[in-house]
A and B are shown apart, each in its own frame.
Chain A
Amino acid sequence: MRVFLLACLAAVLIGAGSAYVLNGGYFPNASSAVFSTKGVRI
């Protein structure tokens, strides 16, 4: 159970980390940058 919970926590943390990176303007024009349009260029 402990391993399972740790695995779920890791999934959430990695997911949240990727959301932070993808919405940080490092990848403008990425369709996954959904929270913000900051840095999006036409």
Chain B
Amino acid sequence: MPTSASLRVFVAALMLAVAAAFTVPPATAQQPTQVNPTAQSVKEKELLKELQRIQGRSTLPDTRTAVLEQPGRDWRQFQQVTLRWIGAIAILGMLGLLVLFYLIRGMVKIENGRSGRTLVRFSAFERFVHWMTAASFVVLALSGLNITFGKELLTPLIGPVAFAEWSQWAKYAHNYLSFPFTLGVVLMFLMWLAWNFPSAADFRWLAQGGGIVGSKHPPAKRFNAGQKVIYWVVVLGGGAAAITGYLLMFPFYATAVGGYTVGTTDIAAVQLAQMVHGIVGLLFIAIMLAHIYIGTVGMQGAFEAMGRGEVDVNWARQHHSLWLEKEAQKGHVRGSAPAE
């Protein structure tokens, strides 16, 4: 039995020694030479990635005030990097293509020269709507480009104070000229819809390069396939820009109506609206550059259609022969044929 008692004492002593060895830190740990207090802390990025948002409770009527941090890093990356690349590629790419095309093809001339006879292409009201929309669009485009590129491009040139002043007025113009622009898009949609449904002639027109590429001049009605594309770009693109733009102008109305949200928060809906608005706007500008090109330096006689409202018969025969036939049958051609 003494042996058993001694064994128990020995085991107890051993356990105490082992416990002491693990509880007493080594001398080096008690006096650290290098301390990094944030080594094990959770980074903000990791926290947001895990939680997506940091939200508390608020007694204010607006429940959104309870949100302290919310998702927005992806949007910021899009706004500062992706959107700029999209815009730069689309706009500079289009400008480059147009310059190249002009150097190769030059202005599309009226092959048989002017006949001296004209016919009405667009009424005064149609031109009024077109130019109201166009004038608004130019201001919207420039002020919109300022939002995406202005800070980087203009601040080094004019300084931060002048840039801030200009940007403030550009923002006013962008907001308020959206109304005549939207009105113009709606009016254009209504007054030109009947002529802008696709037809078999459009596919033949496209197959022959529309008379722009190549030397053929395929028959076309009042609007050819290219013009129909522009029409639908304006209607759909303008419509999308208007809807998303008004979501941005009235963020606390539209995104909260009927509990409507996109994603998880109202702010996410606003971010999505801004992203769509930015992409549509920049692509819209690029496509309109092509429209402006073909309506001015790209084609002889084209600007007169929207300028004076009348076009030469030979221009109409070259580019819109089917439309000319109908107009001639109605007796809408003015002037007399030149002496043979």
Contact = CB atoms under 8 A, between A and B. Distances in A.
B304 to A, nearest CB: 12
A30 B253 CA distance: 8
Given A3-B127, A3-B128, A10-B128, A18 B179 contact: yes
B323 interface: no
Contact of A11 (B124, B136, B172): B136
A27 B253 contact: yes
Chain B facing A: main interface SS: helix
Nearest to B122: A3
A15 B177 contact: yes
Interface string A1-41: 00110111011001111110010000101111011000000
A8 B171 contact: no
B180 A14 contact: yes
B175 A8 contact: no
Interface in B111-142: 124, 127-132, 134-136
A11 B249 contact: no
Interface of A: 3-4, 6-8, 10-11, 14-19, 22, 27, 29-32, 34-35, 42
Nearest to A5: B131
A31 B250 CA distance: 6
Given A29-B252, A34-B172, A6 B128 contact: yes
Contacts of A19: 172, 175-176
B39 interface: no
A15 B143 CA distance: 15
B62 A32 contact: no
B62 A16 contact: no
Contacts of B61: 42
Contacts of A27: 250, 253
Residue with the highest number of chain B CB atoms closer than 10 Å, among A15, A22, A35: A15
Interface string B233-271: 000000000000000111111000000000000000000
B230 interface: no
B250 A11 contact: no
Interface of B: 60-62, 124, 127-132, 134-136, 171-173, 175-181, 183, 248-253, 309
A30 B249 CA distance: 6
Contact of B177 (A3, A6, A11, A35): A11
Contacts of A11: 132, 135-136, 177, 180-181
8 contacts: A4-B131, A6-B128, A11-B180, A15-B177, A18-B179, A29-B253, A32-B175, A35-B172
A28 to B, nearest CB: 9
Contact of A42 (B60, B124, B128): B60
Contacts of A30: 249-250, 252-253
A13 to B, nearest CB: 8
B330 to A, nearest CB: 23
A39 to B, nearest CB: 13
Nearest to A8: B135
Nearest to A13: B180
B274 to A, nearest CB: 11
Given A7-B132, A8-B131, A16-B176, 10 more contacts: A3-B128, A4-B135, A7-B129, A7-B130, A15-B177, A29-B250, A30-B250, A32-B175, A32-B176, A34-B172
